[in-house]
Amino acid sequence: MPTFQHQLTLLVIDDDVISISTLSSMFAKSFNIEIARDGKSALQSILLKDIDLVLSAINTPIISGQELCTFVKNNKLTAHIPIMFFSDNVNQDEEEVCLSMGAVDYIDKNTRLGILFSRVSNIMAMVAQHKKLAQVSCTDGLTGLANRMQLDTMINKEWYSAIRGSHGLAALIIDIDHFKLFNDAFGHLEGDKCLKIIASLIAGSKRRERDFAARYGGEEFVLLLPFTDIKGAKSVAQELIENVRQREIPAASAASHDFVSISIGIAAVSPQGKDNAKSAMELINKADTNLFRAKEAGRNQYCAD
């Protein structure tokens, strides 16, 4: 089995303890395993975690497997997740309904374990290939960071995750100061080198696995920091400014400083915040406004609400 499958996550949903134990043991060496005993818990996992495949019983407590499938397939943030059903009482009518709802497979719960393992593994292989292709299409060719298309997807995903999970989310918009002057003075090849260096420093500033860096456009970048409040975001911003300064990349003679610097605008949403942004786009707009303030104040600094 390809090694990349170890990074994929299988969500198993069943209220049968023995079934959960058997399935978990069988797949644990090949995939990350998440377990849910009812449809409500499963839905929370799907919304808050990176689930690659759902293997669900039909009759799950609270929210049935079919109800869960309907929600997942009607939500643009989760519609890509494949769902496999297993049933104690297999019949063609039920199979037809499940497949028409968007499920990728429907099997007998008593299917030989080796066959079930192969079915799941084959679907996971397709998921892995799709993710690899998606990564290529969503990566900025110059810097290796995510591109604007991927950023638009992630900001909405992390926004809804923060709202549902009642945790903080911070956004940093980072701009290379006087970058046009830099290109005019040293040429676009040196400009590209500068962009790559700054991008690597931004990527290196991520402190959690969920932190996400993207090229916003031109010489602007965005850093999303889930589970981070405004204080934590300021700490990251200050550290990043210092790291860029320490690289001592010569700036254009007409620039404000001797070495290349960055300005950062910060915005954050918190569970207790009274003036929180009302949408993901508003969060980005607040960060962008604060970036403008940082540049107006002299650049080479951050500004936050």
How far is Cα 139 from Cα 132, in angstroms, rounded to an integer? 11
Helices (H), 51-91: 65-74
Residue 139 per-residue DSSP state: B
- Distance from C-alpha of 206 to C-alpha of 197, rounded to nearest angstrom: 15
Largest CA distance in the chain: 77
- Angle at which helices 148-165 and 39-48 cross, to 10°: 140
> What CA–CA distance (Å, rounded) separates 245 from 258?
10
Residue 183 token pair = 């290109």
**Between β-strands 105-108 and 83-87, what pairing exists: parallel, antiparallel or unpaired?**
parallel
| Known catalytic residue at 219 | yes
Phi, psi of 114, deg, nearest 5 = -65, -35
Which residue among 34, 158, 219, 220 is the active-site one? Answer: 219
| Upper half-sphere CA count for residue 246 (Cβ side, 13 Å) | 7
Token digits of residue 186: 């040293």
CB 283 within 8 A of CB 169: yes
Active-site positions read: 219
